[in-house]
Amino acid sequence: MKQIIFILSACFGFLLTNNAEGQTAAPDNKISESITFREMPKGRAVYGIFEGRTPCFEISRQLGANLPSDCDHLKWQVIFFRDTLTLKPTTYILTTEMFGRRPLKGKWKIIRGTKTDPAATEYILETNLPGKSIYLLKGDENVLFILDENHKFHTGDQNFSYTLNRVNKVRRLSGQ
């Protein structure tokens, strides 16, 4: 009798925990290529390049940026640099429409553990905007989530989220 119960429980548990076969197979979940027409930094000094598109106004309020009222979305590109020997964070370059597409440059650092999640990892981008930093939660090596000033998630809309994805920049000559 115990055996029957064990088998039934195991079958039921398997049903609930079995991997979803209907989803993208892990080997096909790859970093996307992103076309660029200019030379991009590369090599060991680059930790990664992340891009995404977010809604306009929540994040511009947070960072004190002025945007036109017809702003539809913001394009983000963050290039993270690191020390080539220690691999520790050094500087970053952030490009968005928020600052007239003038790159925002500064230092970045990694902190581990937050008030609500001791296992969380955040990247903090220090800016020259008074009292403003940009907080990014590490989802994993390839996905980052933009946080608010209280280190909480922003909620996106039906078109855009506050997620940045690692990309491989591929250079194309213009007209190619």
Partner 1 sequence: MKKAAHVVSLFLISIHITAINANAQVTSAGKLSAPAVFMASTPCSPGTKPLPGIPKEATCELIKWELKLFGDTKKQTSGTYTLNCVYGMPNQGTQGLINGGTPLHREGKWVITKGTRTNPAAIVYRLDPDKPPVSVSFLRLNENLLHLLDSRQQLMIGNGAWSYTLSRIQQ
Residues that bind partner 1 (CB under 8 A): 1, 4-5, 8, 12, 15-26, 28-32, 34, 51-53, 72, 75, 77, 119, 139-140, 142-143, 145, 152-153, 155-167
Closer CB to partner 1, residue 75 or residue 101?
75
First to last CA, the chain: 71
Q: Where are the alpha helices (DSSP H) in 78-148?
A: none
Q: Which is nearer to partner 1, 129 or 143 (CB)?
A: 143
Query: Tokens 């922003």 identify what position?
Result: 154
Question: Phi, psi (5° rounding) for residue 49?
Answer: -120, 125
159 φ/ψ angles, rounded to the nearest 5 degrees? -110, -35
Closest distance between partner 1 and the C-beta of residue 98, in Å? 17
Tell me whether strands 163-171 and 32-36 are parallel, antiparallel or unpaired: parallel
Quote the least distance from Cβ 131 to partner 1, whole Å. 25
Pick 3 or 86: Cβ nearer partner 1 = 3
CB of residue 63 to partner 1, shortest distance in Å: 20
- Nearer Cβ to partner 1 (1/173): 1
Minimum CB–partner distance for residue 15 and partner 1 (Å): 6
**Closest-CA residue to 58 (of 133, 162, 158):** 162
* 93 neighbors 105 (Cβ within 8 angstroms): yes
Q: Which is nearer to partner 1, 86 or 116 (CB)?
A: 116
Least distance (Å) between residue 12 CB and partner 1: 7
Q: From the centroid of its chain, how far is CA 134?
A: 12
